[in-house]
Amino acid sequence: MVKIADIELGAFPLLLAPMEDVSDPPFRALCKAQGCDMMYTEFISVEGLIRDADKSVQKLDIYDYERPIGIQIFGANLDSMVQAADIVTEARPEVLDINFGCPVKKVVCKGAGAGILQDIPKMVELTKAIVDRTDLPVTVKTRLGWDDNTKYIEEVAERLQDVGIKALSIHGRTRKQMYKGEADWTLIGKIKDNPRIQIPIFGNGDIDSPEKAAAYRDRYGVDGIMIGRAAIGYPWIFREIKHYFATGQLLDPPTTAERVAAAREHLDRSIAWKGETLGILEMRRHYTNYFRGLPHIKQYRKVLVSEFDTEKLYATLEEIGEIYSEASV
C-alpha cells in the first residue's frame, strides 16, 4: 500500500499531473471517473493567492468526489509562500504540493518553479518553512536539475525528505530540456535504490501507454506514475493502464460514443465551472485528442475550435456521434 503520510493510495497509484489550464475541476472529474488515484490542481501563484486574485483563488476549488487531491503552489518569496500555505491549508486538500519544476520563462525568471533548481539551499529552506507552517502533508514536484551539469535530484530527494516532505514526484527532464528529447528516469530509479529514501517516489515523463507504464514501473521501481499530456483528451489512459496491470491484456480503445459523451460532459462541466465564454474557449485544446484518429474529422474539429454558440457545439458533437457511429467507422 502506497501512502502519502496516512493517505492510502492503493498498491500502485496513477496520478494526474498538475497542468495549467488543463487539470481543472471539469477535466479532473473525467480522469477520476476513469480510475485516477490522486490528482493535483494546476499550479497556483502564491503572489496571486495572497493578493486574493480571482483567477488564483478559483483554482482552490476542490470537491469531495476528487479526494485525495493536492493543491499545488508556486512562488519564490518565503513570506508569500508561507502566507499562501495558510490559505491552502484552509481549503483542506489532502496534500499541499510545491512546484519546483515549471520551466516557463515568466515563472523561472522570478526564481520560482524550476528556477529554484539553481539554488538548492533555497529550495530546501522554502520547503521547510512550508512543512513547519501547515498541518497538511507537503509534497514536491520537480525536475532532475537545471541542466545536464546540475542534475542534483538524488541529493535533493534526501534533503527534502529530511525537512519533512511526504512524497516526491520527479519529471525525468532538466529545466533546460523543457519538453524536448525523451524523459530519462535513470536517476529516479537510483533514488528508489537509495535505502535512506522512505517517502514514495512518483515517476513522471512521457508515459503514454499501458505497456510503457508497466515497463517503467518494473525498470525503475517507482511507487506510482504521474501522467500529464497523455491524459489530455484521453482520460481513458488511467483505466487502460489499470486494466493492463491487472490482467496483462490491452483494453479496447473507447468507442466513438464514449468519446462524444466524454467531450460533451467535459464541455458541460467547463461551462458550468468557468462560464460560457471561457468554458468554451478552454475546452478547445481538448477536442483534437478526444477525436484523434477519426477519419475526416477535420471539418468538425474546425467548428468545435471556432464556434461560440453552445447549441451549435452540442449539435456538432451529436453529429460526430452519428456520423462516426461504430457501424460506419
- Write down the least CB distance from residue 269 to ligand FMN, Å: 18
Indicate if 102 belongs to the active site. yes
- Write down the least CB distance from residue 27 to ligand FMN, Å: 11
Q: Does 171 bind ligand FMN (CB under 6 A)?
A: yes
Angle between helices 210-220 and 186-193 (to 10 degrees): 40
In angstroms, the CA 210 to CA 222 distance is 15
Among positions 13, 93, 101, 321, the unique one binding ligand FMN when judged by CB under 6 A: 101
* Set of cell numbers at residue 92: 483542506
Rule CB under 6 A: which of 37-76 touch ligand FMN? 42-43, 72
- Write down the least CB distance from residue 207 to ligand FMN, Å: 6
In angstroms, the CA 135 to CA 144 distance is 28
Q: Is 239 annotated as a binding residue?
A: no
- Write down the least CB distance from residue 142 to ligand FMN, Å: 8
Q: Which residues, other chains included, contact 129 with Cβ-Cβ below 8 Å and sequence gap of 6+? A: 78, 81, 82
Cβ atoms within 10 Å of 321's Cβ, excluding its own: 18
Among positions 141, 166, 266, 274, the unique one binding ligand FMN when judged by CB under 6 A: 141
In angstroms, the CA 216 to CA 229 distance is 17
Among positions 229, 243, 264, 284, the unique one binding ligand FMN when judged by CB under 6 A: 229
Q: Does 93 bind ligand FMN (CB under 6 A)?
A: no
> What does DSSP assign to residue 231?
G
Q: Does 228 bind ligand FMN (CB under 6 A)?
A: yes
Binding span for ligand FMN by CB under 6 A among 51-59, 79-87, 222-230, 239-247 = 222-230
- Write down the least CB distance from residue 157 to ligand FMN, Å: 16
Catalytic choice (31, 36, 102, 109) = 102
Q: State the number of binding residues for ligand FMN (CB under 6 A).
A: 21
Q: Is 171 annotated as a binding residue?
A: yes
- Write down the least CB distance from residue 65 to ligand FMN, Å: 21
Write each residue from 104 to 133 as x if it is in contact with ligand FMN (CB under 6 A), else as -, in one continuous string.
------------------------------
Contact 131, 168 (CB under 8 A): no
3-state DSSP assignment of residue 182 = coil
Q: Does 216 bind ligand FMN (CB under 6 A)?
A: no
In angstroms, the CA 56 to CA 51 distance is 9
Contact 194, 209 (CB under 8 A): no
Measured between its terminal Cα atoms, the distance across the chain in Å is 42
Angle between helices 153-162 and 186-193 (to 10 degrees): 40
Cell 494526474, located at residue: 16
Binding span for ligand FMN by CB under 6 A among 25-33, 59-67, 122-130, 198-206 = 198-206
Q: Which of 53, 156, 61, 49 is nearest to 100 (CA)?
A: 156
Q: Which residues, other chains included, contact 269 with Cβ-Cβ below 8 Å and sequence gap of 6+? A: 25, 26, 29, 30
Q: Is 286 annotated as a binding residue?
A: no
Nearer of residues 20 and 154 to ligand FMN, judged by Cβ:
20
Would you name the residues annotated as active-site residues? 102
Annotated binding site for FMN: 72, 141, 171, 228-229
- Catalog residues that contact ligand FMN under the rule CB under 6 A: 17-20, 22, 42-43, 72, 99, 101-102, 141, 171, 204-207, 227-230
